[in-house]
Amino acid sequence: MKYDVAVIGAGMVGAAAASLLARSGFSVAVVDHQEPGPFDGSQPVGLRVSAISPGSADILSEAGSWRQVERQRHCPYRRMAVEDRDESVSLQFDAMEFGLERLGTIVENTLVQWSLWQSLLTMSAVELFCPDRVTNLEYIDGEPLISLESGTSLHCRLVVGADGANSGIRKLLGIRQDHWEYSQQGLVSVVQTSTPNSGLAWQRFLDGGPLAFLPLDDGSSSIVWSLPDAEAARMLELDEADFLEELNQAIAGGPDHWPDPVTSCGKRAAFPLTMRLSERYWANHAVLIGDAAHVVHPLAGQGVNLGLLDAAGLVEVLVAARNRQLNFAGEKTLEKYGRWRRSEAEVMARGMHGIRGIFIPGELGPLRRFGIGLISSSWTVREAFIKRATGRHRNSPALARGQALTDLLRAAPA
């Protein structure tokens, strides 16, 4: 059988893309080397959570997953605060001031993956090849032929590489990447504070890197603490009491300051932090989406959001080409997707890189204070920031701006 599209990698981004493509009438093969485990809300909160923007929630809704997510453990947040290491300057955002119901929702990655997988299982246009992995990609009569470890061969018109930061598809396509090593790790854990987190996403820029508290539905917080490699290794080795002492020193503040002291924490783990940007997002009958295309610093919690925007953008471009009776896997279509999404990722990746840079201790203190002061006093700048953070700026795909997939499918040829 020949498929319209083969999606390699069914993480949050690949699975969302596969579901949207199938719902748009494309036949889709999905390959992953592991099936997501069932989500069990009676277990402790997982270590990997994401701040899902309202635009991404709309995309996941069209992909048939968000209703499932909202039935399970999730935590909307309406307030966000970002402050300098000594509380001397801070930025505050409240959903209400921008006419929003929420700024985002904290969800466990495993729940998003599981709900998308459930959606894929119900679709007749989707065939799952799992567990399996790609061993080769060649072209027969100009169209892709993918070989899998199981011996299966997949003929398709378009390959979507959604196989994460170390993408094998990107390597097979020979696409180069810019790569920045931060020599930092993101230390994650779930912590309890003396008064519960009431729905605040809080971040403080410390000498070693940013420390974030993300609210969870039971009043605890998921933390992401960016630390130099050696410091992260040391923090992982500390016993709980010593770790809490260091964490409490890092969050200490004035009388009205939250987070209140941390009283206990769960398991700790650390993930290396990098920034990667592929020099292009498309090649012969193939595109890259999600972490396969770009990896950004987690300080703004935008990695998976950027990937979901790629998925929605890809579907929008392919459907528009098909509506105009153009080749959806043709060079012009793929180039349009690639140029659009790469320029968006570049804004985000370089923005995160720059923000991280100005918060590094040193001579930029006055500049940083001036910059934050400027942002906090300008509603226009704050609104622009929120539009990007919520995935709803004017260059976002239509699905992230609230348009329904059925409207895209019905759209008259331009």
Which residues sit at the interface with ligand FAD, rule CB under 6 A? 8-14, 31-34, 50-51, 133-134, 162-164, 168, 186, 188, 224, 271, 290-291, 298, 301-305, 307
Of 276 and 322, which has the nearer Cβ to ligand FAD? 276
Going along 141-176, which residue ranges are E strands? 143-148, 153-161
Least distance CB 156 / ligand FAD (angstroms):
15
Of 165 and 375, which has the nearer Cβ to ligand FAD? 165
Of 169 and 329, which has the nearer Cβ to ligand FAD? 169
Least distance CB 304 / ligand FAD (angstroms):
4
Of 287 and 321, which has the nearer Cβ to ligand FAD? 287
C-alpha angle 369-370-372 in degrees, rounded to nearest 5 = 65
Of 157 and 170, which has the nearer Cβ to ligand FAD? 170
Q: Which two tokens stand for residue 14?
A: 């690949």
Least distance CB 171 / ligand FAD (angstroms):
10
Closest CA to 60 of 122, 120, 125, 12: 12
Least distance CB 219 / ligand FAD (angstroms):
19
DSSP structural state of residue 291: G
**Residue 283 neighbours by CB distance under 10 Å:** 20
The identity of residue 164, as a single letter, is: G
In sign, the C-alpha dihedral spanning 141, 147, 152, 154 is: negative
Q: How far apart (Å, rounded) are the C-alpha atoms in residues 112 and 129? A: 20
Of 14 and 46, which has the nearer Cβ to ligand FAD? 14
Of 114 and 359, which has the nearer Cβ to ligand FAD? 114
Q: Which two tokens stand for residue 139?
A: 């072209």
Least distance CB 412 / ligand FAD (angstroms):
33
Q: Which two tokens stand for residue 228?
A: 């130099």
Q: How far apart (Å, rounded) are the C-alpha atoms in residues 81 and 93? A: 6
Which positions ≥6 away from 412 have C-beta within 8 Å?
Answer: 323
Of 298 and 397, which has the nearer Cβ to ligand FAD? 298
Least distance CB 295 / ligand FAD (angstroms):
7
Least distance CB 95 / ligand FAD (angstroms):
17
The secondary structure of 296-337, three-state, reads CCHHHCCHHHHHHHHHHHHHHHHHHHHHCCCCCCCHHHHHHH
Of 146 and 318, which has the nearer Cβ to ligand FAD? 146
Which residue is at the shortest CB distance from ligand FAD? 11
Q: Which two tokens stand for residue 73?
A: 């453990």
Least distance CB 260 / ligand FAD (angstroms):
22
What is the H or E stretch that residue 293 is in? none
Q: How far apart (Å, rounded) are the C-alpha atoms in residues 386 and 55? A: 11
Q: Which two tokens stand for residue 336?
A: 């349009």
Least distance CB 37 / ligand FAD (angstroms):
12
Residue with tokens 């398991």: 267
Of 62 and 163, which has the nearer Cβ to ligand FAD? 163
Least distance CB 319 / ligand FAD (angstroms):
21
Q: 409 near 24, Cβ under 8 Å?
A: yes
Q: How far lies 238's CA from each of 227, 309, 366, in Å?
A: 14, 39, 35
